[in-house]
Structure 1
Amino acid sequence: MNSTLQWTPRKLVAALIAAGMIGGAGVVALEHAHTPVHAQGVAVAQVAQAAPAAPAAMVAMPNFSAITAKYGPAVVNISVSGTRKVSMNGSDDEGGAAVQRNLPPGMQEFFKQFGLPPGAFGFGPGQGQGGGAQEAPMRGEGSGFIVSPDGLILTNAHVVRGADEVTVKLTDRREFKAKVLGQDDKTDVAVIKIDAHNLPVMPLGSSKALSTGEWVLAIGSPFGFENSVTAGVVSAKGRSLPDEGMVPFIQTDV
């Protein structure tokens, strides 16, 4: 006995979509919702054979673990200490006013509301007492990376600015006193040196070979912790900061 099965439109649509997902044929448009199921099966098969969907392009992900293992030892923690003469309003002959201006706007307002100098609670250069300037401790933390086996290290200028003592801690927990060889406030880059040999090195690349959208792996040692790793992309090239000349900063979102 021959019989023809009829499917409701809802069931037939679901079946065709499922067949398209499994066979890679995509979504199939229906013109006759009540066509016998065996005929529909042939139609789906013909569509799948006639127009196979191209496989999605596979994009290789960087091996972040391998990169971290290879270059992580070249990243160092930098701690600084020193003293400054600070008045209650945060201005002094050693740049206290500049430090206050460099604080985030919200932090500036915080200090102003409570009548505190920017050095209070460890922020800024230190805390003064009374109307005159006094010596106050200054401490800070940052990261850097080794660029030569004999101890040349690149870091940020703001990390070592005004420091009397700079200490570098390696990932193997060795510590060295460092000397600041030079710094450039405009680009926020500084070069320091430690007395060591056969150190792991982070090679310098060329910004000209870098493209927007490329992967970025950031390795750092913030707040004295051991290395932290995060990943993102190059968002833009040739960025300049407000009120500054054209400096080819690379913007990354990680």
Structure 2
Amino acid sequence: MTGDGHGPVLDLNCDLGEGDGPWRGGEPVADEALLDLVTSANVAAGFHGGDDATMLATCRAAAARGVVVGAHPSYRDREGFGRRRTDVAAHVLRADLVEQLEALARHAAVAGTGVRYVKPHGALYHRVGHDPEQAGALVEAVLAVDRDLAVLAAPGSVVLDAAARAGLAVVAEAFADRGYRADGSLVPRGEPGALVGSPRRAGEQAVRLATTGTVLAVDGTSVAVSARSVCVHSDTPGAVAVASAVRAALTDAGVTLQPFRPR
């Protein structure tokens, strides 16, 4: 995305409000430090991480910094941090997502802000990328709660197509701290190259995404990845250092960081 002759414009988002757990590798929660760096916060809606108190606190901290709030719902899988494959009937998933979206919306309202978009988490994120039935359940849930919510997902996702057909705003995102395969998919967690843990490399990947619309896959292939938002994860080791490097690299490259404007 390019802004009025002044170079690229990009949103920087982060998964936040997820709480402590084994997925953090012993690192303390650093949500407030990350909120000082990003422009959009994907706030966990309770099914994989977070709770009512955390949702409210995260929304308040985001509002105080002018950071846009998005919902980050998942399958009902706190034990697996929402990253385990889960088979759920579409009508059950729809109800679970409505519950999560409505819960976060209530807390955001109390915090003096609102929810602007939905980004599915973990296994759900990947599933709605290729599964029309599960993608349809997510779209139906969004329509039932708030038709003004945008849907944030990977470019080419089935859910983005379904959301667009339903009249919802859609936004494609890419990742600064995750490795890509030659087909444009993410390297699965647990495999070599899944994480880009070096702050310098994460910054370079973000700049490449913003300025060329491409990313270097783990095999050295240049892959086209068109995105209006770039993500960093709060549970990546050294998350604050990674996010700081990504923000600095983008601004040094002339990229304007601001929340995306759904269209």
Q: Give the TM bin, normalised by the shorter chain.
A: under 0.3
In proportion to residue count, which structure has more strand?
A: 1
TM-score relative to the length of structure 2:
0.21
> Whose RCO is larger (CA < 8 A, sep 6+)?
2
